[in-house]
Chain A
Amino acid sequence: MRRARSGLAAILPGLWLAIFFAFPFLLVAKLSASDSALAIPPYTPRIDWSQGLAGVRAFFAALDGETYVRLTRDSLYVDAWLSSLRIAAIAAGLLLLVGYPIAYGVARCPPRLRQALVMAVILPFWTSFLIRIYAWIAILKPAGVLNGLLAAVGLPPVDILNTEAAVLLGLVYAYLPFMVLPLYAVLERQDESLIEAAQDLGCTPLQAFWRVTFPLSLPGAAAGALLCFIPMAGEFVIPDLLGGSETLMLGRVIWTEFFANRDWPAASAVAIVLLATLVIPILLFERQQAKVTR
């Protein structure tokens, strides 16, 4: 009986998510099949309720896949799709390389220090994302802090602001806590005696790491990589502020279509394509989470 009651708690948040999260996707799908128009709101068709059922039928008859055909014809969209996935994948790889040693280092510290270090890794995440990316502009710009430092030690200046390198740097910087935490969670729980057993059987510490610690930490690596990859593929702020005009990513395309071109159907169609691309990673992530929270 108690079980049934705790199920009741799901009603309110469930309804909320149904109204504000699930249902709007139907609207996005509908709009992606509409046409752009000079009107407010800027699309057609709209249901003409005064005509009753005929109005509804006319509305559905006017929906088509024309916007999608337009997307495949224009290389801009295809390029943006490919480079979104490429950049997010490279960034996820870099995050693993950067995040793993940090998570491993924290997990090897004494327990008291560990908590403070985990806190220190999370804290930047609590400070504004926009501000942290903005901070990188001041560092990377041609007359910025980085080049000032390089000049001080007699090195030639680098000009990477408005390039893909700056976008990757920004992504790694902003998403690092999301990579470190899942990795740390697995590494911290690992049984120390396994390593001791491996070493007793003649493994060097490095061999013990590669044969025991690393394979056991793979679920954490997968969780971290998915947790970063999915939002990074649709990232807007970082490519917009740190990337140049040639760094095309789908998040930015949706933004431009919506705000600059006022082409709501195109923005919706790109959003649907992005969502369809991310469905599999999202489902994988959910399976992973379900396993962890069980």
Chain B
Amino acid sequence: MKRGPSAFNIASVVLGLAFLYAPIVILVLYSFNASRLVTVWAGFSTRWYAALFRDQQMLDAIWVTLRVGVISATIATVLGVLAAVALTRSRARSRVVLAGGVYATLVIPEVILGLSLLLLFVAAGLPRGFWTVTLSHATLTLAYATVVVQARLQSFDRSLEEAAQDLGCPPWKAFALVTLPGIAPAVAAAWMLAFTLSLDDLVIASFTSGPGATTLPMRLYSQVRLGVNPEINAVSTLLIGLVATGVIAAYLIQQRRRPSA
């Protein structure tokens, strides 16, 4: 006998989701508001989107952010897959140390990570800019990528890879040909997560960026401090749309592959 959800269960889930989504819905709605005032609805308009596409500084910031995101997410995913393999399969002592580092990065306050990375770049004499932000973001998102891939690797049947090895395949090749395609959805999800986290980060970018490498969150933050501005709503709506489409598409692809799950 399976017990279904009670009225209280349904109410908590509905209210919880309403709480999570209401601010986002309001934000999107007001990006189409003709009025500059948030509370006054003056009709549907796309003027803030038009204003956005004329704002060169904003466009530059978006371009920098996308480049940082793609490169840092790629580095983080490669390192994350390696770390996940070591964490799920190795029994060496180094495993504990690596796990410690990964989980600590996950929870460490961003201000501390940002400050420490900045001091590293100053000590190394690296000029702050595009590459320092990219390296920092790869460090931040590496842990998230690891956790996502690790979750999939744990439930992945290893005997297939072992069979390939028994048939004479070298271990790295067996991994690349058998396991990697099997965990591909998780690797893609890890990349997506790393990319969105990079897209989103204000604190670490502020510490480690330099002239000419202002990211979108840095730009948004300086505008948000000046108050609510419908152009920010327009950028935000575009970002939310982009990420939501990607995530939902990834989810649907995964669902289709495993209809039983």
Contacts and interface: CB of A to CB of B under 8 A. Distances in A.
B13 A102 contact: yes
B92 interface: yes
Nearest to B196: A126
Residues of A contacting B: mostly: helix
A6 interface: yes
Given A121-B20, A127-B244, A108 B6 contact: yes
A18 to B, nearest CB: 8
B17 interface: yes
24 contacts: A4-B92, A9-B85, A10-B87, A10-B92, A13-B98, A18-B101, A21-B101, A109-B5, A117-B13, A121-B20, A131-B232, A134-B220, A135-B23, A145-B38, A147-B39, A173-B20, A196-B1, A227-B107, A230-B108, A235-B109, A267-B115, A271-B112, A271-B115, A293-B154
A198 interface: no
A128 B20 contact: no
A54 interface: no
A27 B119 contact: yes
Contacts of B92: 3-4, 7, 10
A101 interface: yes
Interface of A: 2-10, 12-14, 16-25, 27-28, 31, 41, 98, 101-102, 104-106, 108-110, 115, 117, 119-121, 123-124, 126-132, 134-139, 141, 143-145, 147-148, 173, 176-177, 180, 192, 195-196, 226-227, 230-231, 233-237, 241, 250-251, 254-255, 258-259, 264, 267-268, 271, 274-275, 278, 282, 285-286, 289-290, 293
A10 B11 CA distance: 46
Interface stretch (B45-53, B55-63, B75-83): B75-83
B95 A10 contact: yes
Contacts of A3: 89-92
Given A289-B99, A293-B150, A20 B136 contact: yes
